Structure 1
Amino acid sequence: MRPSHRGALPTTLAALILSVLAGCSGTHHGSAVAPAAPAAAPGSPDRRPADDPATWTLPLMRYLPTDAQARTIGRARETLTRDCARRYGITLTPEPELPPLGPKNVMDWRYGIHDRGLTARRGYQVDDAQQARYDAALRARGKLPRPSPDTSVVVSGTRLPPDVLAAAGPEARKGVVAGKPVPDGGCAGEAQRTLGTATQGVSPFVARLMTASYPRSMEEPDVRRVFARWSGCMRERGFRYAAPMDANDDPAFRPGPRGVTREEIATAVADLDCRAAHRVAEVWHTAETRLQNDVVAREAATLAAERRALDRTLATARRVVEGKS
């Protein structure tokens, strides 16, 4: 996993954004993240440590759940699904969460690498110990027993892959288990309707805006100028790239059996030096903030409605998690 030309968007929140957008990607693999910081009000100064983009915000983030809020909605969805399954005599065991992998939150790698210690060891790759823990947890999860076809019908309804549905019992294939009809979309669908969201609170509209501002920001005149200065700095060091994410996305540096090469580390260290010398991330973030402020003003009514919908979902989710539903 590494930052990419589309802006890093790790889970919990970012993976949800990616699933909503069905095909857009911000990292090479999914990862778990810490809660995102609250967004600054439009037009307000962004007080942040200049060297830690993980602490930065963007105006549209206020219309998305934080990672902590997305986890609350996820826990509520699991609780509702599990309670529903009990009506059919089925006890569901949640899969264990995977450990963190990659960027800390939705902003951490959005504008590229910035951690000098990690870059000097790993170039554009994630921490090796973190990757090892994640891979081990993924292997352990893969060894867990698979649910029976009838259980899959209870959880997800009858819109399953043909081979899974064909393996279910004759009544289950018709959407009936334990003599009771299965809700549309199964217990998971019922949970989504109760919470009022199929995406853990991530609005598809907001997700599209959040993603669209990233490539647009790279076309802003001040960003193009700072990219040109960065490119000149890299050329002086013997590396030819037109823009920062071109180095980051160089196919020669993709994860592979060779591991991290000296060439990758040398390139990444030079990249980081040139970013710092010309304040690339700061200029880029300022431009994207400006673009998003314009969008927030233009779409104020729709965004306010999306925020109200998110707040309703969060209120319901908290009641479920606290056992007050």
Structure 2
Amino acid sequence: MAAVSLAVLMAGCGQHESDGSQVVTAGGVTKAEAATPKVFTENWPSRVPSAGLTKGMALPLEQYMVSYADEIAVQRARDVAEIACMRRYGFVDWRTEDLGTSPPPADNASNMPRRYGLTVLAEAQEFGYRVPASGRDSTPPPEQDEPDAEKVWRGAEGSEKATSFKGRELPEGGCSGEVDRKVGSLDVELVEQLSAESFERSQQVPAVKAAMARWADCMNARGHDVKTVWDAGDLASANAPTASSKEISIATAEVECKEKTDLVKVWYTEESAIQKQLIASHTSLLDRAQKSSKSTLEAAPAVRP
């Protein structure tokens, strides 16, 4: 298998980076023992937007969503379990990527800072439609064409199931399967599906359509021929490495016209009402998913090498 194929298959997983020798650091810790996930927490998003037209806003469905910190906590547990499993089969230098190095602009899947397009005037004036960089460099695992590692990770060799490696029995589904059973995952499918539904439905509400029309009139008065906030981003053609003066002009007008017409406030109010209806008709399923995610989160800290 080509190296790039293995890299795709094992995206987010560790790699076997040396000949397996036990290198001891000055502190007396082996290199293998030191190969645990690193978590960086600087510049993580706040729970609710802290600036702009969505400052302090949180939609009803967000109470059922998991935070960025929750996602990192579970991924760290999965990485710990992965490293421990791969070590058992001789990959003593196996490691995973650093976590938290590229935090998103929003704390959860609602993406409130940009759910209704640009909302922070200062950012629009400086970055146009681009998301301000808030991350740091990570140390990615090296890419290698490692058939043995693939076999242990997947519990398969090509299209055939593999049950052992060098005389040792493999877990069902390899180390990947072991990680899934030991840590599990967060149950977010339903809440994210309902969030997408409310977003689509909200754009058809008469009050939102009227506010969008007022916003479009404001933009047109400034020389920008658009009908919706999504047209504005397309008009800016933000493909260059940095924002052009044209992009800055459109982005700035977008936010200023939203403030003038109360588009964001109207949109948020109408979508909140839709989400409350969705919660009322899906309460038991949302509660079940939230309970499942809570169990996964509570068990995550107990996962050790």
* TM-score, normalised with respect to structure 2: 0.75
Displacement of 1:145: 4.3
Question: What SS class does the counterpart of residue 141 from structure 1 fall into?
Answer: coil
Q: Verify: 1:244 aligned to 2:229, yes or no.
A: yes
Which residue of structure 1 aligns with residue 155 of structure 2? 157
Aligned to 2:250: 267
Q: How many residues align?
A: 260
Equivalent pair of 2:121/2:256 in contact (CA under 8 Å): no
Paired AA for residue 262 in structure 1: S
Q: Is the 8 A contact 2:44 2:104 kept in 1?
A: no
After alignment, is 233-242 or 182-191 more displaced? Answer: 182-191
The residue aligned with 2:129 is 124
Aligned counterpart, 1:37 = 47
Partner of residue 116 from structure 2, selected from 111, 119, 125 = 111
Change (3 A) 1:273 1:264: same
Contact 2:151 2:162 in 1 (8 A): no
Pairwise mapping of residues 73-222 of structure 1 onto structure 2 (< 5 A)?
A: 73-91=74-92, 92-97=94-99, 99-100=101-102, 103-105=105-107, 106-127=111-132, 130=133, 137=137, 141=140, 144-146=142-144, 148-158=146-156, 165=158, 174-197=162-185, 201-222=186-207
Q: Pairwise CA RMSD of aligned residues? A: 2.9
Q: Which has the larger radius of gyration?
A: 2
Q: Residues 298 and 79 from structure 1, CA distance in 2 versus in 1: closer, same or farther, beyond 3 angstroms?
A: same
What's the offset of the Cα at 1:102?
A: 5.7
Give the aligned partner of residue 54 of structure 2. 53
SS at structure 1 position matched to 2:101: coil
Report the AA paired with residue 111 of structure 1.
Answer: Y
Q: CA deviation at 1:195?
A: 2.5
**Matched-pair contact (CA < 8 Å) for 2:72–2:100:** no
Question: Which residues of structure 1 form unaligned runs of 5+?
Answer: 1-31, 39-47, 160-164, 167-171
- The one-letter code of the counterpart of 2:255 is L
Letter in 1 for 2:239: P
User: Which amino acid is 2:299 matched to?
Assistant: T
Residue 141 of structure 1 aligns to which amino acid in structure 2?
Answer: P
- In the superposition, relative to structure 1, how do residues 196 and 126 fare at CA in structure 2: closer, same or farther (>3 Å)? closer
What percent identity do the matched residue pairs reach? 28
Contact 1:37 1:55 in 2 (8 A): no
Tell whether the 8 Å contact from 1:59 to 1:293 is kept in structure 2 after alignment.
Answer: yes
- Matched residues in 1 for 2:288 and 2:117: separation? 32
